[in-house]
Structure 1
């Protein structure tokens, strides 16, 4: 029997830390399925025996990291301890301060006690080096001999042996400061993701026995009714039971204008209720609300490494031993073969070791990917993993669903045409009276339009639905009928002009209903599922970037053609789910990199088959699960934004690798030429690491202006 354990590990800043822990743990018998995520500081593994957990803790502690067990369920009550305090309270901070004080005291004592400098500086160096060396030995014994700590220890001890004690002490201090800066930078990346979960308020007002009671938002159960006052953040995903208000969804979706929402509409945790009092029935527990799911998806996404990241992982595995060999050759060959002074070349060899620290290189990709994923999540662009982020930038064709993706997904009244004396308002009033109590989408569209035009909707009496034909009833002492042109023509013939109007509306992909008053034709109402307001612009941006959009729909060819014409996009209609899948595969065989955008269960197969599947809007859970990403606000423009974010992230990674390798190359040359020494070498590595992380953090601000 095997158990899954979850730990929080403090002090991991980059991939090489994670790999060191992974290598050490794979040697412990009874451990399998190790997954480590440096960004969320989590370690998950499977153990064969319950007592293996203590062994895990010992191994990780010996390597110099803090470790605390976390329950598998306790995922979102972020119990972040000391690591989130100010930097000087962390273990790394304290060690760097101690080492600095040691160096300062050695320097001032050396003024008073000339001749004792080597001993004083060696003692100062030992303050920082002993913990580093302990970690290096623990890692070597656990099967990872080539760690940054090993390079550091060899270089510092070597410097003491050749009499460069002062420099050795400075190098150790700089190394500790560098590690501290890395820790602070990695902490910033973590905080950017966690700031999402801070959007949800900690408390909620719940209705119990007619009075309001304040409770922790985490304890809310599905079905509870909560009160949300104007100006408050909504503490849970839910449905409005009573009240109406404008909801500011900017924190979750980035949508700048508040949306008016009333009874029966859904609201998300973390959004702001601006002007009215609401009563909301909770529809998801705290750990399943939209934001918690976003945070969880982003965290899981970071565990799925991107291909570039895997390449860097493999590269650094061979890179560190190669650096040790080069350092040794630089130290030994010139004195042996050319009779050069040993001291000078051993010193250069040690500097080469320090230049070789792989940290900046190893962190270059994950830092950018973590920042890219977090930047997306803040704007409602969910991307599940580095690999997806990488593929998005290569997309050449986008297959978009029509209903609910390119269009609103619900019909709207487009035309009201009078056939007799009655005005357009009269026609809407009569039609809405018949449809007042119906839940049919077209009926709802007619009632919504009447209300928008300020017409008071009074339900008709004796309303009866005639299967497949329409509805009849009475209002203002007249008999009314609203139904299909065919059913209306059976009651009384329509004029040729009316027939022509109906035909042209149907040509535009609209559904036409005829209103009969006292058995004579009074007017026509046409409805259609209209494109989203940003659909045209979103498709234009995609085309401008050289990406070919194609619309896929199960709808009839006439409706599809009308919408496709309006949006200027190629369309394929009358499709079943398997046809959508086939088309995606056809595009792929033509060598296209295909993104599929859809919102329904019927899209799941095609979403899974595409190179990147993007779920649209709040979409169905199935679409969210099978997709590689999601556009939470259902904007077509966001698809172009997602692709732009991917390109920005991949560009950022290339810059990072360039900075890391470039600085190393420069210092390698200057060291061998004897221009720079040990401490500029370690500064180069620290500097590169900080530059790389800072560059990655730029992504958090990017992506707004697409």
Structure 2
């Protein structure tokens, strides 16, 4: 959709108004829409408001799987008295509603829900800033930051994502104020801008000196207690160690309690202070030191997973050589506009998407598409920002601004994907939110009730209660899933595969059947001449006549024959009186004789004898090839057969899918059964559905689902959109440079082939395995620790070690996905 003031092809913001300079880029099942505008760092958020009478309000509809769903919603809403008009566009998944009076957004959402769909209003442009936050080591830290900032009057809305280390916040106060408030909790925030390198430099390094010093004090106190040093001196040493290591968690705990959060800082601080109060100074010092050390190690480990996205950001250079007249001028890429000419020298990275207007080269597109072999590029070919110019110097005309390049879209989509919670993660977070307060209350009961009833001393039960407080921290559990998902999505992106969220990563791991569109997916989608049989004349003469006949036709088969003739240096004859015969072929007069090229029906109508060629034609057609017969009204001069060739990577990719446990491979095609059978035999698919119209593919997907399969659909993201939406998982091919593919599917293969699909399915299954390993390991460690508390076998420092140690093991296990091949 065109725009008045922004160069973007995305959809305009919801409400029709006079400031319509904003475009929204919508994710599947998202309640939040990230906006790419003329002004940066803005988002469109869903809010409940009451638009005025007659104002048009737009909603995003989720759940429609065919155009009839759109009609159902329209009819349902148009019957309601307070709605003047309702229109649903299936292609854009948008609902436009005009109210007769003040229109309640909630009431429209409710009505749409009754019809079996979900509606989310797209209302207001807000100034949303994004910050990088360093120091969080589990999702409870993110929750504490959210709760604290939500209590500040100048903060309107805030969302902190632990997985990506990002905070999105709408605030009226200054950036410095926000940074200061976050620092009170013991974390570091910096405003994220385009090409912001702050996350690379913003490390939590000053804590290393303190942790080292307090560790030395802890060791000195321990040695001193066995070497005659007075107990007062060792106590003072332990107290200093507690203050040094415990300052940050206690400060964070104070603000967490203030904002009614029960995070691990609260639990650990309570345990350390409690240990000191009952005279267990060594235990208290050990608790805070191990906790601080664990935090540093966890932060370093989690940062490794976040680097996968920062490495993507660093791929494209920040400057470009722009041709201005006869001179070359180096300019920041943000200042380069569409249509300008840039020069890329051999060995340089390409700064912006463009079209080659001069020069030839080979380009390493691995950073974008994951292809291992450089691709030859000629004049007219597209090159992508972030790819590497391997050989020749080239000049390109810029086709996309820096914020619209394929690389920028990949980065944006991957970041959004990492921020989405997978079903498993959502469940774990809910479980932890219940588990922690329950164990916290249980710890208080353990501290108070037994000694009141005369079962042991206060000191004994306080100690056990403090150990229980430490065990209440669910850090390893809540970190088990997000780090694995971030690592897997980062790995996939590095290999040219976009997975749009943890939910789709989990779905991919459960897929046992994949349906493929044939043309352009299993095959090249570009027919080639496969066989020529001349009758009574030479092969070159036959091709020359065919070239003459087909040169004026726009049919794909005709173009294939013309291309073959040109490639083989065959010249066309002089022809005249060209005529297209609809559904049958073409004719032209050559050397005074009318010649024809077409199908067998054309020559049957001309009453030409077909006795010698009919069996040959049927045999060729049974092989899945298209036959073009060349002749006159008196005789057949020859046959040219044309076939779409199977991609070189198809058979290997399908075999790879079977090896990773995808048992059912299905081909969907509009071709006849003969062609379908031939292609299925060559590719080793299990079954095929032939002679399908686009809408019939949806029926085929539903049939497979009824048979009990978890079905993925692989297509080109355009005419396969209904089938992609119907399948349990939609996979689009050729995402590089194709906006539709990126927006339509749940997973996008950036290269225009299937070779990365087995890796994607294997990666998904591996991610699910690691997530399960992490969850079970975390639960078992907690369970064992709980059992060991009551006999008195679990000391405080062992409890901390079990928590931070388990968290580290879980993170290290998840990070393996970054290196998975």
Shorter-chain TM-score range: 0.7 to 0.9
Distance 2:476 2:718 in 1: 44
1:277-316 matches, within 5 Å, as: 277-316=393-432
The alignment status of 1:418 with 2:534, answered yes or no, reads yes
Is the 2:443–2:468 contact (alpha carbons within 8 Å) kept by the matching residues of 1? yes
> Displacement, 1:485?
4.8
Q: Which of 497, 515, 520 is the matching residue for 1:404?
A: 520
Shift in alpha-carbon separation, 1:174–1:611, aligned structure 2, 3 A? same
Q: Which residue of 1 aligns with 2:163?
A: 39
579, 591, 609: which is aligned to 1:466? Answer: 579
> Deviations 1:92-143 (Å, cap 9, x if unpaired)?
4455345446656877998897333223321331123233222112111112
Contact residue 549 and residue 578 of structure 2 kept, 8 A = no
Aligned to 1:6: 129
Partner of 1:22: 146
- Asked whether the equivalents of residues 689 and 700 of structure 2 are also in contact (C-alpha less than 8 Å), the reply is no
Moved more, 156-165 or 348-357: 348-357
Structure-1 residue corresponding to 2:747: 629
Selected match of 1:508 from 584, 606, 623:
623
**Are 1:140 and 2:257 matched, yes or no?**
yes
Greater displacement, 1-10 / 392-401: 1-10
Conserved 8 A contact 1:433-1:457: no
User: Is contact 1:472–1:482 with CA below 8 Å preserved after alignment?
Assistant: no
Determine if contact 2:657/2:761 at 8 Å carries over to the other structure.
no
- Once the two structures are overlaid, the 10-residue window that deviates more, 126-135 or 376-385, is 126-135
Match in the other structure for 2:651: 536
- Please give the alpha-carbon distance, in whole angstroms, between the structure 1 residues aligned to 2:764 and 2:745: 17
**1:598-677 equivalences in 2 (<5 Å):** 598-618=715-735, 620-677=738-795
Q: Separation in 1 of the partners of 2:662 and 2:589?
A: 55
Task: Report the counterpart of residue 709 of structure 2 in structure 1.
Answer: 592
Answer yes or no: is 1:359 the counterpart of 2:475: yes
CA contact (8 A) 2:367 2:496 kept: no
Matched residues, number: 689
| Distance (whole Å) between structure 1 residues aligned to residue 818 and residue 468 of structure 2 | 35
User: Would the alpha carbon gap of residues 95 and 446 (structure 1) be closer, same or farther in structure 2, given more than 3 Å must change?
Assistant: farther
CA shift in 2, pair 1:221/1:459, >3 Å? farther
- Deviation digits for residues 3-25 of structure 1 (CA, Å, limit 9, x no counterpart): 24223133223211122223334
Assess if the C-alpha contact under 8 Å between 2:734 and 2:748 holds in 1.
Answer: yes
Mapped contact 1:96–1:180 kept (Cα < 8 A): no
1:237 Cα offset (Å): 2.4
1:226 pairs with 342, 347, 358, which one?
342
Matched, 1:680 2:798: yes
| Aligned-partner Cα distance in 2 for 1:437–1:219 | 45
After the TM superposition, which residues 141-160 of structure 1 pair with which residues of structure 2 at under 5 Å, given as runs?
141-144=258-261, 146-160=262-276
The answer (yes or no) to whether the contact 2:518–2:668 under 8 Å persists in 1 is: yes
Deviation by residue 1:263-291 (Cα, 9 ceiling, x = unmatched): 33323222333333333332222222222
**Which of 342, 347, 350 pairs up with 2:458?**
342
RMSD value, Cα: 3.4
Q: Give ranges in structure 2 of 5+ residues lacking alignment.
A: 1-123
Alignment deviations for residues 159-189 of structure 1 (CA, whole Å, 9 cap, x no partner): 1112121332222122111111111111111
Segment drifting more, 670-679 vs 640-649 = 670-679
Aligned to 1:185: 301
Contact 1:470 1:487 in 2 (8 A): no
Structure 1 unaligned regions, length at least 5:
none
Query: Secondary structure at 1:116's aligned position in 2?
Result: helix
**8 A Cα contact 2:512 2:664, kept in partner:** yes
1:252 pairs with 2:368: yes
1:65 and 2:182 matched: no
Cα displacement string for residues 474-500 of structure 1 (whole angstroms, at most 9, x for unaligned residues) = 79x999765445556778946522333
Name the counterpart of 2:318. 202
CA contact (8 A) 1:371 1:700 kept: yes
Worse-superposed segment, 196-205 or 464-473: 464-473
1:572 corresponds, among 674, 689, 694, to 689
Pair 1:552–1:130, CA change in 2 (3 A): same
Aligned-residue offset at 1:153: 1.1
Instruction: Tell me if the contact between 2:242 and 2:285 (Cα under 8 Å) persists in the aligned partners.
Output: yes
TM-score with structure 1 length normalisation? 0.87
Q: What is the deviation of 1:55?
A: 7.2
Distance 2:354 2:550 in 1: 28
Partner SS for 1:652? helix
Aligned ranges for residues 124-139 of structure 1 at < 5 Å? 124-139=241-256
Cα distance 1:472–1:96, how it changes in 2: closer, same or farther (>3 A)?
farther
Going by fraction, where is helix more abundant, 1 or 2? 1
Residue 378 of structure 2, aligned match among 238, 262, 271: 262
Secondary structure in 1 aligned to 2:129? strand
Alpha-carbon spacing, 1:276–1:490, altered in 2? closer, same or farther (3 Å): farther
| Deviation of 1:336 (Å) | 4.5
Asked if the contact 1:463/1:471 (under 8 Å) is kept, the reply is no
The question of whether the paired residues in 2 share the 8 Å contact of 1:221 and 1:282 is answered with: yes
Secondary structure of the structure 1 residue equivalent to 2:337: coil
In 2, the alpha carbon distance for the partners of 1:250 and 1:131 equals 43
Instruction: Assess if the C-alpha contact under 8 Å between 1:561 and 1:571 holds in 2.
Output: yes
In 1, distance between residues paired with 2:418 and 2:333? Answer: 27
Cα pair distance change 1:236/1:437, threshold 3 Å? farther
Deviation for aligned residue 1:301: 0.8
Structure 1 position 329, deviation (Å): 4.1
Bigger RCO (CA 8 Å, 6+ sep): 1
Q: Is the 8 A contact 1:203 1:215 kept in 2?
A: yes
SS at match of 2:643: strand
**How far off is 1:368 after superposition?**
0.3
